[in-house]
Structure 1
């Protein structure tokens, strides 16, 4: 409960200039969130291996859907990892998301799906939503369901430097398939099924009981920020692809062979009456 607040007239603070200024007896620090996030990702993932992956001719499409992840994806994928210009598409955030609904699913990102299923498909495709917390993963010729994705990320997380010590546990929401359960069993770590809602994952992350969390609605994240993070999931997939030297389709099919396959389908009803 906020019981009181105070207002101070400190004049104008230049929010376009990175740095620290004194204003009204306070220290105001202006940061570049894109740079800070990129540095955090570099501490978790093998950026040298990812640079080598793109240098080898690896092709990727990331659709930011004119939403918040655009500048972050552009900076990391193209500027820092050396992916070709155009790898990050629709990367300029727009108030109306370019007139489209920024939902990374097979309806609203059908153009990406169609490209990934085409004869000249890139090696890897991904997208993120309006606020950047959910993700879409598509390999050349194969769509990875969110339930499978969280299981495969957990099974291979040790290939990324930030997770090489292993996971504390895996958490999934109740509607999410049990694919992650068998990964946790094989790794000898906890598996936690929660009600729908990221707040339940937050409790497990705070208690250091889970490292990776995921839900069938395509939200995936870890203890690096305690929240869903769509671009993080994409970068972990890239790290896995680079470390294993295999395609997304190979990784998916080998995972099914090792752990079994959950057949899972989510049905969204769009533009229907609510009564």
Structure 2
């Protein structure tokens, strides 16, 4: 039986760069999740009788909302729902399932790298038929609908058993509970030389992967330990937990400090890696060296041809604007396309669909390719392993040789988390006002050469996205970027990106914060960070 339930709208359901994210208690308000899901369906056309993929990262409230979404999909006329066993589907795996089975779209329940638990974060994101996040024209329509919604439709049938693989007809709609790992693992075997990686591991190569008690645990267990033969225990924290074991599932040097310390030790494994809450981010650490996401993107692009799935080369590289220019130098030397987009994976989708880019990346630890339409943490780890197996060199050797060939982009991101929203918005507004006066201004030995508010003109669909970050460019090629994050749920996060290009190999071993010290000082002065936020120092430095 289909019920139409009266409701009243909430004013705060505007999706960010990765869907709608709020604290769990907010999603538990009466009809809150239902309103947003119905707003998604009301903003779409032509889905009657089609397939919808549903899954999430296993965080708290995941199962509850999956049951709501299944029943609402049935009431709204979908013909089939595919859902991961246990409610589990990593974000890249969900993208692959949408693409492989030609689903109409998918609902992914995740707040990515944000903490999970009864009082922590939850999220709902809609992905379109190409497997990628909904573009702004759809998320804008969802938001507009959410502001006036007055009812939602839901079918009245018992909860689906999510813990067994099965296919059943529920009120005329097929519900298929699938193995969340199998299709994704099979795709990875197509892209990478598993035989070469198995051989590397059999020769004593040691890897350590921290799944952070999040969604990639089952995927990493199957791929690294079962299919590639890594010893039992190579994958840590592999059981997905609703609260991620009380840890923050963001694979950076703060939240993966234990892994970092181990990789810097005397008896370090050869290769260390981690992924985040929903499996779309990655951390790469070699024995004695941390590889920044920006450098990782450039190195993966430069060596992608060593993997079977990319043996014919890549068409182009795309990076988010705040990501360092390291990949640009690879594209220039290889004579391939290079594209600079706003932050948010949805901006890569058109480039990938048009065959203009093959590999994409963001400084926030997201890297991926045209195999799906999301960033993919395990994909990046496997490509690194494939490169290491073929080249027979260490991570340190590969990185230092890359810098010698292309130069080094010293790069760091300073996050000021939980800043008062009005103060953060005021800081950005003040920066915008002073942009015309900045060129020619000196800060110590640095001279501003240009300053703007980045706008993206999509070369495929010709859409324009304004106000994507404040860029301050200095003579000599250094730069500072300021933007507010769209992924948090409390206050505002001010991100400051600092970059200096160094072509001289004799100057490639300076400590990063030291190499960027004058730029860091200039950034603080230009934006008056302390005066406007009260913060003496960043919360997180990566």
Compute the TM-score of the two structures, normalised by the length of structure 1: 0.93
1:156-171 aligned at under 5 Å gives the runs 156-171=303-318
Partner deviation per Cα, 1:203-250 (whole Å, 9 max, x = no partner): 211221111100111111111111111111001100000011111111
Could you tell me which residue of structure 2 aligns to residue 235 of structure 1?
A: 382
Once the two structures are superposed, what CA deviation does each residue of 1:6-63 show, in whole Å capped at 9, x if it has no partner? 5667777654443544554454433212111110100100111111111111101101
Residue 151 (str. 1) matches residue 222 (str. 2): no
**Aligned ranges for residues 1-275 of structure 1 at < 5 Å?**
2-3=41-42, 5-6=76-77, 15-18=162-165, 20-270=167-417
Alpha-carbon shift at residue 5 of structure 1 (Å):
1.9
Q: Deviations over 1:133-152 (max 9, x none)?
A: 11110000000001000000
Whole-angstrom distance in 1 between the partners of 2:257 and 2:155: 50
Larger Rg: 2
The offset of 1:272, in angstroms, is: 6.5
Distance 1:177 1:70 in 2: 30
State the secondary structure of the residue aligned to 1:192. strand
What is the Cα deviation at residue 252 of structure 1?
Answer: 0.3
**1:124-164, Cα deviation, whole Å (9 max, x unpaired):** 00011111111110000000001000000000000000111
User: Superposition RMSD on alpha carbons, in Å?
Assistant: 2.0
> Greater strand share, 1 or 2?
2
Secondary structure of residue in 2 paired with 1:166: coil
TM superposition score normalised by structure 2: 0.49
Is the 1:11–1:23 contact (alpha carbons within 8 Å) kept by the matching residues of 2? no
Structure 1 unaligned spans of 5+: none
Secondary structure (helix, strand or coil) at the match of 2:408 reads coil
Using the TM superposition, name which of 14-23 and 95-104 deviates more. Answer: 14-23
Bigger RCO (CA 8 Å, 6+ sep): 1
Does the residue aligned with 1:263 lie in a helix, a strand or coil?
strand
Q: Is the 8 A contact 1:205 1:223 kept in 2?
A: yes
Unaligned runs of 5+ residues in structure 2 are 1-38, 43-74, 78-153, 421-490, 492-532, 534-542
Q: Quick one: distance in 2 between partners of 1:11 and 1:192?
A: 48
